[in-house]
């Protein structure tokens, strides 16, 4: 990263660039380029972490910077468009980054080594009028592999999602070993977990419950976010006598319902409230949006979230302040996660209050959705699914890497 000194960036600009580097968790030029070392990753240009790579190092819990103009100015000194002015050569040292996608040259297949599973993707028949262009070659029809390929060289690959298939835009000429398989604890049925939610922690799994959005529903959420038609409504149900609570959420667009769900609200019975349950619904809604944006590499879009608790929606969408005061806020554990997600989202997320149990004459869609969410939360409170009862001691939430 000697470019900062070579092109005389001011101390302020250097600090801004370092903030971006800390958030992106990158060290070398190879960390932000494609597998063949020729082009800059699109998500890096737009201030997003690489989608199918992760750093094996321990990084600080660093928030996403709000200003990326200096970062893009910095990148312009080493690129012409998206292409590196001086492409990288072959790998000579092992990288701190761990790759998830690999290319098998002998069979023209892709290997996805993720968490505790390995899948093999085959080349799909051409549907394009440009069959010889590699960036249009799609791979799909995954099959599970009990043992990763051991005799074939695995070439790190840069892969882009394309609805239910993948496009291999480039791959390295240097083979590297598969990352060590990590056994991930899950309370969901692994067969039902869609790719956008494959690394969801047990903290969020318990809040979402077992009605996981399908891959098709995740794709519909992607389209609704991008065309700015996504409407979300969350609500809660709370029993003061025993301190139990639940939350529910509904995703909707102009065409109709996309996905619904309900789950438990964890916390000690003497400390739970309808306010905390409302925050749970907001948290789950934002988490699902975040994972969809991350998986489909969404850069622009909008989501409108409605909630009938003024305090919860106001606290959730207000800017956090420095000092000790925020830590003394009621249910700060949930508010902190909500505000981190809002900051990490690459799209605009707006929160608005809606009148609950509305009986007026001018009835809008958000009133109907609020009633539906209220019914879902009440159903879960009265008849929680096996294994998804409220926990007195909440599960440990993940760090900033959600």
Tell me, what's the pLDDT at 133? 47
**Maximum average pLDDT range among 61-65, 80-84, 95-99, 268-272:** 80-84
pLDDT tens digits, one per residue of 241-254: 888 999 999 999 98
Confidence tier at 180 by pLDDT (50, 70, 90):
low
Confidence tier at 2 by pLDDT (50, 70, 90):
low
In this prediction, residues 12-40 reach a mean pLDDT of 91
Tell me, what's the pLDDT at 297? 80
Tell me, what's the pLDDT at 311? 92
In this prediction, residues 338-351 reach a mean pLDDT of 91
In this prediction, residues 273-287 reach a mean pLDDT of 95
Tell me, what's the pLDDT at 275? 94
In this prediction, residues 42-64 reach a mean pLDDT of 83
Tell me, what's the pLDDT at 91? 81
pLDDT tens digits, one per residue of 133-175: 444 688 888 888 876 666 678 889 998 887 677 888 888 888 7
Pairing mode of beta strands 138-144, 117-123: antiparallel
pLDDT tens digits, one per residue of 363-386: 999 999 999 999 999 999 999 887
**What secondary structure, in 3-state letters, does the chain show?**
CCHHHHCCCCHHHHHHHHHHHHHHCCCCHHHHECCCCCEECHHHHCCCCCCCEEECCCCCCCCCCCCCHHHHHHHHCCEECCEECCCCCCCCCCCCEEECEEEECCCCEEEEEECCEEEEEEECCCCCCCCCCHHHCEEEEEEECCCCCCCCCCEEEEEEEECCEEEEEEECCCCCCCCCCCCCCCCCCHHHCCHHHCCCCHHHHHHHCCCCCCHHHHHHHHHHHHCCCEEEEEEEEEECCCCEEEEEEEEEECCEEEEEEEEECCCCCCCCCHHHHHHHHHHHHHHHHHHHHHHHCCCCCEEEEEECCHHHHHHHCCCCCCCCHHHHCCCHHHHHHHHHHHHHCCCEEEEEECCCCCCCCCCCHHHHHHHHHHHHHHHHHHCCCCCCCCCCCCCCCCCCCC
Q: Is the pLDDT of residue 352 over 90?
A: yes
The rounded percent of the chain whose pLDDT value lies above 70 is 90
Tell me, what's the pLDDT at 401? 40
Q: Is the pLDDT of residue 240 over 60?
A: yes
In this prediction, residues 300-309 reach a mean pLDDT of 95
Tell me, what's the pLDDT at 136? 64
Does the domain made of 190-382 have the CATH classification 3.40.462.20? no
Specify the higher pLDDT residue, 142 or 117: 142
In this prediction, residues 30-46 reach a mean pLDDT of 91
Comparing 156-165, 258-267, 317-326, the range with the smallest average pLDDT is 317-326
The rounded percent of the chain whose pLDDT value lies above 90 is 42
Tell me, what's the pLDDT at 134? 47
Which residues belong to CATH 3.30.420.10 in the chain? 190-382
Tell me the pTM: 0.67
């Amino acid at each position: 990263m000697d470019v900062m000194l070579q092109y005389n960036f001011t101390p302020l600009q250097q600090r801004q660039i370092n903030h971006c580097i800390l958030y992106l968790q990158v060290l070398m030029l190879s960390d932000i380029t494609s597998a063949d070392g020729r082009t800059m990753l699109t998500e890096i240009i737009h201030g997003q972490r690489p989608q199918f790579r992760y750093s094996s190092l321990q990084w600080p819990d660093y928030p996403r910077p709000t200003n990326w103009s200096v970062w893009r100015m910095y990148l312009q000194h080493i690129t012409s468009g998206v292409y590196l002015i001086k492409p990288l050569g072959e790998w000579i040292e092992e990288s701190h980054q761990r790759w998830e996608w690999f290319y098998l040259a002998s069979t023209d297949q892709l290997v996805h080594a993720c968490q505790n599973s390995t899948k093999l993707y085959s080349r799909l028949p051409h549907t394009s009028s440009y069959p010889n262009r590699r960036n249009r070659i799609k791979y799909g029809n995954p099959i599970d592999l009990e043992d990763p390929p051991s005799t074939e060289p695995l070439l790190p690959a840069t892969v882009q999602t394309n609805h239910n298939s993948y496009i291999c835009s480039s791959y390295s000429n240097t083979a590297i070993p598969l990352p060590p398989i990590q056994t991930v604890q899950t309370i969901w049925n692994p067969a039902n977990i869609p790719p956008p939610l494959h690394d969801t922690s047990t903290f969020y799994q318990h809040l979402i419950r077992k009605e996981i959005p399908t891959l098709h529903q995740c794709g519909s959420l992607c389209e609704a976010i991008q065309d700015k038609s996504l409407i979300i409504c969350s609500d809660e149900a709370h029993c003061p006598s025993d301190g139990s609570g639940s939350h529910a959420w509904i995703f909707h667009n102009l065409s109709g319902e996309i996905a619904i769900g309900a789950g438990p609200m964890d916390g000690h019975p003497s400390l739970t409230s309808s306010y905390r349950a409302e925050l749970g619904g907001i948290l789950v809604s934002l988490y699902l949006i975040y994972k969809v944006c991350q998986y489909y590499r969404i850069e622009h879009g909008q989501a409108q979230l409605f909630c009938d608790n003024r305090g919860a929606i106001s606290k959730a969408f207000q800017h956090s302040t420095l000092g000790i005061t925020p830590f003394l806020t009621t249910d700060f554990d949930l508010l902190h996660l909500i505000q981190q997600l809002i900051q990490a989202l690459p799209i605009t997320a707006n929160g608005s209050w809606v009148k609950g149990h509305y009986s007026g004459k001018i009835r809008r869609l958000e009133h109907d959705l609020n009633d539906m969410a209220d019914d879902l939360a009440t159903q879960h409170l009265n008849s929680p699914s096996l294994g998804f009862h409220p926990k007195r001691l909440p599960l440990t939430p993940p760090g900033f890497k959600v």
